[in-house]
Amino acid sequence: MVSIRPLPIPTPNSEPFWNGLANHQVNLQQCNDCRAWVFYPRSHCNGCLSPNLTWRKVAGNGTLYTYTVARRPTAPQFIDETPQLIAVVELNEGVRLNSVMVNVLPEALFIGMPVKPVFHQQDSATLLYFEPA
């Protein structure tokens, strides 16, 4: 191991998201005023700048918006994980997030693939990975 894997450090705004993952559920913010779903967690809605956001539990299902098979580590901290299946997932609520695909061969991946959440324990953090639905 050259370096340890970087972990997220929650902020006061994002704690409900990371605490949700630790409890194996996906929490997203929704704007009370324009109804937009908001990701990543924010103080204000990035649709209308309203501060009136409510945390809601969602299923976490979505589709694979795009992916790459990184055959060289994107940083030395990921050297033990090549090839990295780096993914961008679009949740059914419409927001997109960075993730990693698991339980699938690289050649089986395709854009538009239905995916479901995998709560991946990485040291002290729970990350939101995905697998084929």
Partner 1 sequence: MGLKGRAAITGVADYKNVRNYTGKRKFFLEQWAELTQMALADAGLSKHDVDGLCCAAIPESTMFAPATIAEYLGLQVNFAETVDLGGASSVSMIWRAAAAIEMGICEAVVCAAPGLPIPSNPNPLPKDPSRVYGSTSAKWGSPQAEYDVPYGNVAQNAGYALIAQRYAATYGYDERALAKIAVDQRTNAQGNPKAVFFGEPITIDDVLQSKMIADPLHILEIVMPCAGGSAVVVVSERLAKKCQHRPVYVTGFGERLTTRSVTYADDMTVSPVGPAAASAFAMSGKKPKDVDVLEAYDCYTITVLLTIEDSGFCHKGEGITFVKENGLTFNGSFPVNTHGGQLGAGQAAGMAGGMSQPVEGVRQIMGRANGRQVDNCNAALITGTGGIMSEQSAIILEGA
Instruction: State the residues that interact with partner 1 by CB under 8 A.
Output: 3, 5-11, 14, 40, 65-75, 77-78, 81, 84, 86, 88, 96-100, 110-112, 122, 125, 127
Q: Which residues touch 75 (CB under 8 Å, ≥6 apart)? A: none
Q: From the CB of 115, what's the least distance to partner 1, in Å?
A: 14
Nearer to partner 1, 70 or 104 (CB): 70
Smallest gap from Cβ 133 to partner 1, in A, equals 18
Q: Which of helix, strand or coil describes residue 83?
A: coil
User: How far apart are CB 33 and partner 1 at their closest, in Å?
Assistant: 20
> Which CB atom, from 51 or from 76, has the smaller least distance to partner 1?
76
* CA distance linking residue 45 with residue 14, whole number of Å: 14
DSSP symbols for 31-78: ETTT--EESS--SS-TTT--S-EEEEEE---EEEEEEEEESS-SSGGG
Which is nearer to partner 1, 43 or 54 (by Cβ)?
A: 43
Maximum Cα–Cα distance across the chain: 48
Q: Least Å distance between CB 99 and partner 1?
A: 6
